[in-house]
Structure 1
Amino acid sequence: MFFVDTLETEGLGNRSYLAGGADAAVVVDPQRDIDRVMAAAVRRGVRIAFVAETHVHNDYVTGGLHLARVTGARYLVPAGASVSFARTPVADGDTIGVDEDLVLRAIATPGHTPHHTSYVLEENGRAVAAFTGGSLLIGTVGRPDLVEPRLTRRLARAQHASAHRLADALDDEVQVLPTHGFGSFCSSSQAEGDTTTIGKERRNNDALVLDADTFVARMLDGLDDVPAYYAHMGPANAAGPAPVDLTPPEPADARQIAARLAAGEWVVDLRHRVAFSEGHVAGSYNVEGEGRLATYLAWLIPWGKPVTLLAETPEQVAHAQRELVRVGIDRPAAAATGDPARWVGEGEALVSFPRATFADLVPVRERGEEVVVLDVRRDSERADGHIAGSVHIPVHELYGRLAEVPAGTVWVHCAGGMRAAIAASLLHAAGREVVAVDDGPDAAAEAGLTVTDT
């Protein structure tokens, strides 16, 4: 009897899979911190015999090469992928015996990348699960614009054809097990639901419901911004990522923190936004460790810039390290934990800025105070409605556009508070007076602010 174990990577919106039988298993699209999947194999009592990549990933650094070397597994990589290491090239129609009565069959599904390959797990000749990577997702498909702009339209059309190829080849009850689509920016739109089958997708997925021209036009029109760090992921994966080092970083005291700030390095406070606003090291930035740390820190930071982490506990630093190595930020320069008051020198104090709601903004505007309402949501979010007169700079662009924020106290908001806190910390570090709005967009209209979509 076959099994499939799912390994969630919530911070990046991805999944990896361990699948097999009584003795041997295959790992599909593993994350870089391979200890998780190795522990899952131990719990199952199986040997990892194969590691399979559906494509050269653009949104995270793979652990596939290192996992294959550590376990002695055969490393299956699509034959069309240009890589700099030895692997077992997989072509359309190839079959690999995973365990007794279990076979993995490769199906070429270009679209997310030109070489993208899905893998169908067959038990006794019957398809039971399809590992679809960035091809067929839950209610959508992987985005086609991460490889080369000149290929985007062609790849979008290929996504439509690949989705139909899978649907035509597989029965309704076959599980669809994608890598992307759970918050990942590799998805062309966000998935709804947690599990799916070929039958469900046949009824609900635009790629299988719409004709090719309509599907391509709709998907291309809906593509959102691409995280800046994606540009570094594909080359790292093609070159062959190095093993990770998750040992604790060098401890930093107040003097070292000050020196790193003076040198222009990034000091990132991982605490919750409320704690940060109430007292933090001047010049530090706030990216919550329990939020989408890897996505937003990697998106914002100048690539290769040293980063020092500040947190309440060593466990929070360790969690952040694990998140960051997945996107190629391999080693923090240093870290400090404990009482934030110890992060500043003797005679110095932590700094703070206020938090508020949209209801608090109304009387401020009525008094005629000089304020700027800064919306840091993405373009697609703002198009659904925004506060009249507000300035719009998406949070991932703000670090390079701080000079564009008009004069006055900046009331900064997003859709919930986390991105607003990041933006407020960037502005505050640059010497601006800020108020972090910890409120949802619906609350703006309820407070009496004019909301428009024009």
Structure 2
Amino acid sequence: MSTVDIVPLVDEGLGNSAYLLDLGDGRAMVVDVSLDLRESSRLARRRGLTVAFAADTHLHADFLSGARQLSATEGTQVLASAAGHREFTHSGLRDSDEVDLGGLRLRALGTPGHTHEHLSFLLLDGDKPVGVFTGGSLLVGSAARTDLVSPEQTEALARAQYASLRRLAELPDDVAVWPTHGAGSFCSAPPGSERTSTIGREKTTNPLLRAADEDAFVTALLGSLGSFPPYFHRLGEINRRGPAVLDQPPALAPLSVAEVRALLAQGAVAVDVRPVADFAAAHIPGAVSIPLRPVFASWLGWLAPHDQPLIIVRRSDQDPAEIAWQATKIGYGNLAGELTGGLDAWTAAEHPTTSTRLVRPDQVDTSVLDIRQTPEFAAGHLPGAQHVELGELADRAQDVPGEPLVVMCGHGERAMGAASLLERAGHRDLAVLTGGPDDWATATGHRLETGT
């Protein structure tokens, strides 16, 4: 089998992989890179490569594409589906079109399903297929969701996805499969550590490729769909028009205590990115807790508004550039800045704070609200626990039972976010469980309930 020099660039937070392909002549191609180009640029510089091509398999809903940025700043040629009708300079490809990469060739394969205009890109060395960039079509052990366009088109796209996977399955068994969406992606990839595969392995192990017929495939795929962040509804169109080109890296502007107070009075929202224990001890009343970690971007896009100014409250040892980039790659350009001096400056100015109790698994003695995803809740939860997914909580805060109330998730980060939303809605006497259902079962010796 021919070998190629390809490096996956994994975004653990979004559950995605971009790819950098060294073309062997001082040039490179990147596939499905986000607007956060730090890692791909660092890798290209280290190898002395110029990024000559940027291929996008589809109009991404979960991040802003970096292809237009590369085109504007480095003269990179953008390769994308002609059916996507992008409004910026690109080479529009249709099914079976090929691009000469200089020794290697890239063939476009129409694989609609995840989106209408979805392309997979087959990499050929001579006439031999080496691997296929499957984007949101064939995934490791699954296929990407088909409900991001509209509810009315979900089933039709699922049937298109069936045909697309069957087409890909006709490739030779030794062809590598390089998907964009992987474990942790809200675009529907099952848990697991494998992010690449082969056609042969997927034919053997992927349950969707082993479905008895098209109807069975559609039933299985649609039955696996969970919720997704609301910003998914916006980014596809932004990517079609072309994300704004950045003239400098995003950064957090400094804001004084007085400026923060004025902004909050005008409707801005404080987003506190400190760890759970810090937020629990003291925070600005009404602040939303979204701890800075790899999945920060997804939960920012789920819990914080995109059309109101956001004020970041961080700890001094947390990287402001990381916060700014995570917000930027999901289209959150509404960061007003950060509170200079953090919460210490706020308290030094003698402005009020509030706190949220933390309880251990053996201290749960009141009503419980479990805010995990539905499949997590169904797999095992505390007996009698009420369930509202975190992503729905802001709209359903009035449905939550009265206090006292213990809020829980799997570890505590999401639960603290939920508690902060409930506090903003007027709930009091809340506590957050430091741990998850398994910790409670171990601490108490009681069994978990299953099902919904």
TM-score, normalised via structure 1 length:
0.92
The answer for the alignment partner of 2:355 in structure 1 is 352
The answer for the alignment partner of 1:177 in structure 2 is 178
Paired AA for residue 220 in structure 1: L
Deviations for 1:105-145, whole angstroms, at most 9, x for unmatched residues?
11111111111111111123222221110011111111111
Unaligned runs of 5+ in 1: 365-370
The answer for the alignment partner of 1:442 in structure 2 is 438
Give the C-alpha shift of residue 291 in structure 1.
Answer: 4.2
| Structure 2: distance between partners of 1:346 and 1:48 | 50
Stretch of structure 1 that moved more, 326-335 or 430-439: 430-439
| Structure 2: distance between partners of 1:252 and 1:233 | 29
The answer for the alignment partner of 1:205 in structure 2 is 206
RMSD of Structure 2 on Structure 1 (CA): 2.0
SS in 2 for 1:153: helix
Q: Is the 8 A contact 1:135 1:162 kept in 2?
A: yes
Paired AA for residue 273 in structure 2: L
Check 1:373–1:291 CA distance in 2 against 1; reply closer, same or farther (3 A cut).
farther
| Structure 2: distance between partners of 1:242 and 1:331 | 14
| Structure 2: distance between partners of 1:20 and 1:126 | 18
Stretch of structure 1 that moved more, 340-349 or 58-67: 340-349
1:238 aligns with 2:235: no
The answer for the alignment partner of 1:368 in structure 2 is none
| Structure 2: distance between partners of 1:351 and 1:235 | 40
The answer for the alignment partner of 1:322 in structure 2 is 325
The answer for the alignment partner of 2:381 in structure 1 is 386
Give the C-alpha shift of residue 423 in structure 1.
Answer: 0.8
Q: Is the 8 A contact 2:347 2:353 kept in 1?
A: yes
| Structure 2: distance between partners of 1:112 and 1:264 | 37
Give the C-alpha shift of residue 55 in structure 1.
Answer: 0.6
| Structure 2: distance between partners of 1:20 and 1:95 | 18
Give the C-alpha shift of residue 191 in structure 1.
Answer: 4.8
The answer for the alignment partner of 1:451 in structure 2 is 448
| Structure 2: distance between partners of 1:352 and 1:180 | 38
Unaligned runs of 5+ in 2: none
Give the C-alpha shift of residue 386 in structure 1.
Answer: 2.6
Check 1:315–1:418 CA distance in 2 against 1; reply closer, same or farther (3 A cut).
closer
Equivalent residue in structure 2 for 1:432, among 411, 428, 432 = 428
Stretch of structure 1 that moved more, 233-242 or 396-405: 396-405
| Structure 2: distance between partners of 1:16 and 1:66 | 15
| Structure 2: distance between partners of 1:41 and 1:20 | 9
The answer for the alignment partner of 2:101 in structure 1 is 98
Q: Is the 8 A contact 2:176 2:199 kept in 1?
A: yes
Give the C-alpha shift of residue 329 in structure 1.
Answer: 0.4
Give the C-alpha shift of residue 345 in structure 1.
Answer: 5.0
Give the C-alpha shift of residue 192 in structure 1.
Answer: 4.9
The answer for the alignment partner of 1:89 in structure 2 is 92
| Structure 1: distance between partners of 2:13 and 2:51 | 25
| Structure 1: distance between partners of 2:37 and 2:404 | 46
| Structure 2: distance between partners of 1:70 and 1:388 | 56
Check 1:386–1:315 CA distance in 2 against 1; reply closer, same or farther (3 A cut).
closer
The answer for the alignment partner of 1:262 in structure 2 is 265
Give the C-alpha shift of residue 41 in structure 1.
Answer: 1.8
Stretch of structure 1 that moved more, 375-384 or 412-421: 375-384
The answer for the alignment partner of 2:149 in structure 1 is 147
Query: What does residue range 341-380 of structure 1 map to in structure 2 within 5 Å?
Result: 341-344=344-347, 346-361=349-364, 364=365, 371-380=366-375
| Structure 2: distance between partners of 1:207 and 1:162 | 12
Paired AA for residue 436 in structure 1: V
Stretch of structure 1 that moved more, 129-138 or 377-386: 377-386
Check 1:34–1:78 CA distance in 2 against 1; reply closer, same or farther (3 A cut).
same
Give the C-alpha shift of residue 389 in structure 1.
Answer: 2.6
Paired AA for residue 403 in structure 2: G
SS in 1 for 2:255: coil
Paired AA for residue 375 in structure 1: D
Give the C-alpha shift of residue 424 in structure 1.
Answer: 1.6
Stretch of structure 1 that moved more, 242-251 or 291-300: 242-251
| Structure 2: distance between partners of 1:359 and 1:137 | 41
Q: Is the 8 A contact 2:256 2:340 kept in 1?
A: no
Give the C-alpha shift of residue 77 in structure 1.
Answer: 1.1
SS in 1 for 2:252: coil
Equivalent residue in structure 2 for 1:419, among 395, 398, 414 = 414
Give the C-alpha shift of residue 78 in structure 1.
Answer: 0.7
Deviations for 1:61-91, whole angstroms, at most 9, x for unmatched residues?
1111121222212211112113222321111
Aligned length: 444
SS in 2 for 1:96: strand
1:279 aligns with 2:282: yes
Give the C-alpha shift of residue 431 in structure 1.
Answer: 4.7
Give the C-alpha shift of residue 339 in structure 1.
Answer: 5.4
Check 1:236–1:166 CA distance in 2 against 1; reply closer, same or farther (3 A cut).
same
